[in-house]
A = this chain, B = another copy of it.
Amino acid sequence: MSDQKLIGPSIKQIPAGDDRERLVCPDCGFIDYRNPRIVVGAVCTWEDQFLLCRRAIEPSYGKWTFPAGFMELDETVAQGAAREAKEEAGVDVDIQDIIGIYEVPQVGHVMIMHRAPMQSPFFEAGSESLEVALFDWADIPWDDLAFPSVEWTLRRFMDVKDQQTVPAIYKTSKYVLIT
């Protein structure tokens, strides 16, 4: 038995007019409508090289990924992807087309991944990155990538490299990615 006080939206209830349980705050009645969240990502490239960041945060601390993170309010999908590239790797990029949409329903993430050529070879690690580096394709640390979606997206990038416009491939994870 725990007598820890529940704070914030912590009680499951079906609000009036709704058809499913939401978390409701027992103190103030606030209803927490949780929805899936959008992750915006950018495969940042300089000539034939790929920019990867080694994560300074959990999950997957110490593992490599291209810049990606949760989309915020008051920005577009493309602006969010460019913002993450700037925050995590200090790079200015041109966000081109969407090459992949991946999702992990078990954790409520929908990922929208872009091609994003860098405007210059300059980069520097942001506060969420231990280090940032440019890799040749042959040198990508496949065994140390942060999430399966990083590998899916990089391979997708190579598959469509010579195509000007490409369908946004759509893939649903059958398993939980975050360990």
Contact = CB atoms under 8 A, between A and B. Distances in A.
Contact of A170 (B9, B20, B77): B77
Given A97-B167, A97-B170, A103-B77, A7 B29 contact: yes
A36 B73 contact: yes
A27 B30 CA distance: 11
Contacts of A170: 77-78, 97-98
A55 to B, nearest CB: 16
Given A30-B25, A98-B170, A35 B76 contact: no
A36 B38 contact: yes
A20 B98 CA distance: 27
Report the copy number of this chain in the oligomer: 2
Interface stretch (A105-113, A116-124, A141-149): A105-113
User: How big is the A interface, by class?
Assistant: 35 or more
A98 B166 CA distance: 12
Interface in A77-123: 77-79, 97-98, 101, 103, 105, 108, 110, 112
B28 A73 contact: no
Nearest to A167: B165
A71 B35 contact: yes
A165 B170 CA distance: 12
A169 B112 CA distance: 13
5 contacts: A8-B30, A35-B73, A78-B172, A97-B167, A97-B170
